[in-house]
Amino acid sequence: MGLHVASRAPDCQPIIEFRNVEKSYGSLKVLEQLSFSVKAGEHLALIGPSGSGKTTILRILMTLESVTAGDVIVNGVCLNHEQRGGKQVPSSEAHLRRMRGAFGMVFQHFNLFPHKTALQNVALAPVLTGSLSKAAAKERALQMLENVGLADKAHEYPSRLSGGQKQRVAIARALALQPKILLLDEITSALDPELVEEVLNVITNLRNETDMTMLLVTHEMGFAKDFSDRVLFFERGKIVEEGPPSEIFLSPHHERTKSFLRKIIAAGHRL
């Protein structure tokens, strides 16, 4: 028993920790003194009005943006700094590449490679990182496509797929390197309404069948409620309210949260 507990101990540490993070573009402050942490295996929903900094948080984790101040800790290692010669220096490209290995990201607009087939999109990174032989990588990529229900589209170019199919390919691609943490940025907001469900079903399966940590930015409040273990409500780069979905969606404390949810429901989103 003791051994078992010891091997699980790291799970109790946060897998992600933001410490007083600030992000500015010129004079525009996008994140202000932001601190929060995410436990390994947790399913976190980030909600809030447009422009409140949700995408920026995911982009900082994916190392697509740097922070202006503060620290981001992933798996106990600082993302934005590294130790060199006993000193803290800004992360080198090599350090960033090591850190990126933990993450997979799915973008709002899919960002598929148009000159590659669905299968090639999914297999490219595993082949290039050389962790698998080319044949094994192809086979795994095909398995990934099958998991998202697209084995029959493996040899199609993205231009011949529907939005929902494209996004499912993008999910398979993000999973091909077996990330510990999956970042999902409004992955259904570019889709026609009738294509939303097929994508959300894939996410629900991932949620239930893997132990990945998942950060979901969404305006689909109904989905966020079923998906998440915890919800963060953002406004102007700050967390206004956080808690379990039952509380945030059904009995929010903060006036800002209430009015945001009212607006969202008025705009036709289900809860």
Partner 1 sequence: MNTFESAIGYSWFILTGAVATVELTLLSCLLALILAMLAGIALTSDQIAVRAVTRIYVEIFRGTSVFVQLFAAYFVLPFVGVSLSPLQSGVLALGLNGGAYGAEVVRAALNAVGRDQREATIALNLTRWQALWWVILPQAVVFMLPSFGNLAIELMKGTAVASLITVSELTFQAQVVRGQTGDTAMPFLLILVIYLLIASALISFVRWLERRFGRGIVSANT
Ligand X SMILES: Nc1ncnc2c1ncn2[C@@H]1O[C@H](COP(=O)(O)OP(=O)(O)O)[C@@H](O)[C@H]1O
DSSP character for 92? P
Our CB check for partner 1 shows the closer of 118 and 240 to be 118
Among 53, 158, 164, 245, contact with ligand X (rule: CB under 6 A): 53
Asked whether position 56 contacts ligand X by CB under 6 A, the answer is yes
Which helix (H) or strand (E) segment is 146 a member of?
helix 134-147
Asked whether position 54 contacts ligand X by CB under 6 A, the answer is yes
C-alpha closest to that of 145 among 160, 156, 131, 135: 156
The mark string for 1-40 relative to Mg ion (x by CB under 5 A, - otherwise) is ----------------------------------------
Asked whether position 125 contacts partner 1 by CB under 8 A, the answer is yes
Instruction: Report what 105 binds from Mg ion, ligand X, partner 1, none; CB cut-off 5-8 Å by kind.
Output: partner 1
Instruction: Report what 117 binds from ligand X, partner 1, Mg ion, none; CB cut-off 5-8 Å by kind.
Output: partner 1
Residue type, 13: Q
Contacts 24+ apart (CB under 8 A), 197-203: 198/149, 198/164, 198/168, 199/164, 199/167, 199/168, 199/171, 202/147, 202/148, 202/149, 202/168, 202/171, 203/171, 203/227
The CA-CA-CA angle for residues 123, 127, 133, to 5°, reads 115
Asked whether position 25 contacts partner 1 by CB under 8 A, the answer is no
Minimum CB separation from Mg ion for residue 139, in Å?
Answer: 35
Which helix (H) or strand (E) segment is 234 a member of?
strand 230-235
List beta partners, residue 144.
none
Question: By the criterion CB under 8 A, which residues form the site for partner 1?
Answer: 62-64, 93, 97, 100-101, 103-105, 107, 109, 111-117, 124-125, 128-129, 157-159, 173-174, 177
Q: Which residues bind ligand X (CB under 6 A)?
A: 25, 28, 30, 48, 50-56
